[in-house]
Structure 1
Amino acid sequence: MRAITVAPGVADSLRLDEAWPEPHPEEGAILVEALAVGICGTDHEIIAGEFGEAPPDTDRLVIGHESLGRVLEDPTGSLHPGDLVAGIVRRPDPVPCANCAVDEWDMCRNGQYTEHGIKALSGFARDRWRIPPKFAVGLDPDLAHVGVLLEPAAVVAKAWDHIDRIGQRAEWQPQTVLVAGAGPIGLLAALLASQRGLTVHVLDRTPTGPKPALVAALGATYHTSTVNELDFEPDIIVECTGAPSVVLDVMCKAAPVGIVCLTGVSSGGRIIDFDAGALNRTLVLENNVVFGSVNSNRRHWELAAGALGRADPSWLGNLVTRRVPVEAYAEAYHPGPDDIKVVLEFAR
């Protein structure tokens, strides 16, 4: 069996293992044939040796956390052979903490969770994988071409779920959304905003390539200016870049009673001269909320599946800018200038 693996903590250790062991039944009752895995910034950071953790019984980690597969067998009857399926990335910690105990593993408090392809669990970039029914999300057959987008869509489904919940603290009728960043997370965040009937603005510094057309196809407005140059104050801001200067700028840009959701992860190590007092004054006097959001639980995966099902399939298909066969895996993990989402294909 083929698998794409790395030695965690060792830069440039990516390789294709041609004789990787078959998934052990203890991994889960459902046996899945891999169709595709999506590639994101987390994978690039793991390949660079910045983080990642192998399972306890090996020194190599099968990467890949954005999955799409076809069920080969499911003795539990929750799914059927031939069904499309994606695997939920995170597993609750073994203690468990208060949140993991109620299946909110995305809100784990003690950090003892595990994650497929990232932290102590084999990922989905292998010909076959297993998953317990609780962590298997079935997909409509119509999503066969784009179902690999479910994991990033689940991330933004959680972000929007928490935005909606925070908005209930007071009478609130948001109209305008700013999404900072037009990568996969940003574009999917804009998609879910448009599905809510909001006026959507997307800011990205890339003036060419496929991004402006994808934003326009949502009926949204594309900006290449800085945050401070925008002539409006959004009710909601979803920050998807993790760029420290953009993070600070959007926190100061929200309208009164606004909500800023941070989904981009900053690398750290940069010091910026910033007026923290002015930010504090704005947040307090305008009753604004800034919060972070990462990962997702099963409910968010199901919300994401519904959102993808309501979306224009051709628009979703255009998010995937490259499809690379597993034999050319090295090419897939080498970013291109116009890439949005690169997909490594195992089977068709």
Structure 2
Amino acid sequence: MKAVTVEPSKPDSARLQDVPEPDAGTGSVLVEAIAVGICGTDQEIVQGHYGWAPSGERHLILGHESLGRVLDPGPIGSLKEGDLVVGIVRRPDPVPCPNCAAGEWDMCRNGRYTERGIKEMHGFMSERWRIEPDFAMKIDQSLGLLGVLLEPTTVVTKAWEQVMAVGSRAFWEPWCVLVTGAGPIGLLAALLGKQHGFEVHVLDRATSGPKPDLVQSLGAGYHTGSVLELDFEPDIIIECTGDGRIVSDSIRAVKAGGVLGLTGVGGGEQMDGSFGADLATEAVLGNKVIVGCVNANKRHWYKASRALARADRSWLARLVTRREAPENFSRALEKESTDVKVVVQFADI
């Protein structure tokens, strides 16, 4: 079968090649790939900055934002042939640490977890893949191709859960939310904010293209420029860019007693020395909380699947701005100005 593979740490080594059929030992559920979403992590792996092949192997099959159709459900579990499923990405470490033992592998303490398509486990960017029944998430059939958005939705589902949990440390009545960044993660964070019933604003540098209209179609406000120039004080900021300047401005901009949830990983301004001390003072005197969020556990996958099922299908469909065939996967990795979410599509839904 065909799969998109990479040699981790070797830049530009990704290619479509023939690989063996997935081993039954990797899961009793056999799945036909429909689509795989592309994100910044995939680009970093292809550029040689990240990623680990399975033990004893040279290549890693890419892809962690999956969507597939069950070909063979195997002897156990409730799945049936034809069900649409998405594969959970992370697996608990083998020790396990206390968090992994409790099913919270997203909070792994010793770093020995593995991840499909990222860390020591083959991903989903192949014509067929196998998975353990407990790690296959059945999705609402009516979502169709849009089920490929489930994995990024789990990230912001966890972020919202963490932000609300931290905020409940004291009496708190949040109302106004700012999301920084209008990429897929930011837009999905805004969607969940609206589902929570908040007044939502999104800030991004794009002044044209699909992003402003997507935000406005949610009933949210769209802004450009600096976080510090906004004419409102957000109770919550969900930061989805990883840009150092935006992070530091967000610490200043969030209202006293508010929460800043960080989901973006990037670069930019370093926060150290007196500058870092100023930000610490801002957080201390304002009772502000900064919480970092990454990955998701099974609880978040269930919550995210319900959130997608409730969402307007026509709006979700506009997030998938480009589809590429597996043989054109390299084109999918190249960001275009009109892109929101790009997917590699293996089969029709």
After TM superposition, give the deviation of residue 274 of structure 1 in Å.
6.3
The answer (yes or no) to whether the contact 1:146–1:317 under 8 Å persists in 2 is yes
After TM superposition, give the deviation of residue 277 of structure 1 in Å.
2.8
Distance 1:187 1:153 in 2: 10
The answer (yes or no) to whether the contact 2:67–2:145 under 8 Å persists in 1 is no
The answer (yes or no) to whether the contact 1:13–1:47 under 8 Å persists in 2 is yes
Instruction: For structure 2, list consecutive stretches of 5 or more residues without a partner in the other structure.
Output: none
- Report the CA distance shift for 1:269/1:21 in structure 2 as closer, same or farther (over 3 A): farther
Give 1:41-120 correspondences, 5 Å limit: 41-74=40-73, 75-120=75-120
The answer (yes or no) to whether the contact 1:34–1:68 under 8 Å persists in 2 is yes
After TM superposition, give the deviation of residue 26 of structure 1 in Å.
1.0
Distance 2:224 2:267 in 1: 23
Letter of the aligned partner of 2:63 in structure 1?
G
After TM superposition, give the deviation of residue 2 of structure 1 in Å.
0.5
Give 1:197-216 correspondences, 5 Å limit: 197-216=197-216
- Report the CA distance shift for 1:193/1:112 in structure 2 as closer, same or farther (over 3 A): same
The answer (yes or no) to whether the contact 1:97–1:110 under 8 Å persists in 2 is yes
Aligned to 1:250: 250
> For 1:99, what is the secondary structure of its paired residue?
helix
Letter of the aligned partner of 2:36 in structure 1?
V
Letter of the aligned partner of 1:7 in structure 2?
E
Aligned to 1:331: 331
Letter of the aligned partner of 1:15 in structure 2?
R
Aligned to 1:157: 157
Aligned to 2:143: 143
- Report the CA distance shift for 1:282/1:150 in structure 2 as closer, same or farther (over 3 A): same
- Report the CA distance shift for 1:271/1:62 in structure 2 as closer, same or farther (over 3 A): same
Distance 1:269 1:214 in 2: 29
After TM superposition, give the deviation of residue 327 of structure 1 in Å.
2.2
> For 2:93, what is the secondary structure of its paired residue?
coil
Distance 1:281 1:271 in 2: 13
The answer (yes or no) to whether the contact 2:66–2:86 under 8 Å persists in 1 is yes
The answer (yes or no) to whether the contact 2:32–2:71 under 8 Å persists in 1 is yes
The answer (yes or no) to whether the contact 2:100–2:107 under 8 Å persists in 1 is yes
Q: Which piece of structure 1 moves more, 221-230 or 281-290?
A: 281-290
Q: Which piece of structure 1 moves more, 145-154 or 260-269?
A: 260-269
Aligned to 2:20: 21
> For 1:291, what is the secondary structure of its paired residue?
strand
- Report the CA distance shift for 1:274/1:129 in structure 2 as closer, same or farther (over 3 A): farther
The answer (yes or no) to whether the contact 1:64–1:117 under 8 Å persists in 2 is yes
Letter of the aligned partner of 2:133 in structure 1?
P
Distance 2:199 2:5 in 1: 42
After TM superposition, give the deviation of residue 107 of structure 1 in Å.
0.3
Distance 1:281 1:9 in 2: 40
TM-score by length of 1: 0.97
After TM superposition, give the deviation of residue 194 of structure 1 in Å.
0.4
The answer (yes or no) to whether the contact 1:245–1:272 under 8 Å persists in 2 is no
Aligned to 2:230: 230
Distance 1:154 1:107 in 2: 14
Aligned to 1:310: 310
1:264 aligns with 2:251: no
1:285-325 CA-partner distances (Å, limit 9, x unpaired): 22111010000001101100000011000100000110111
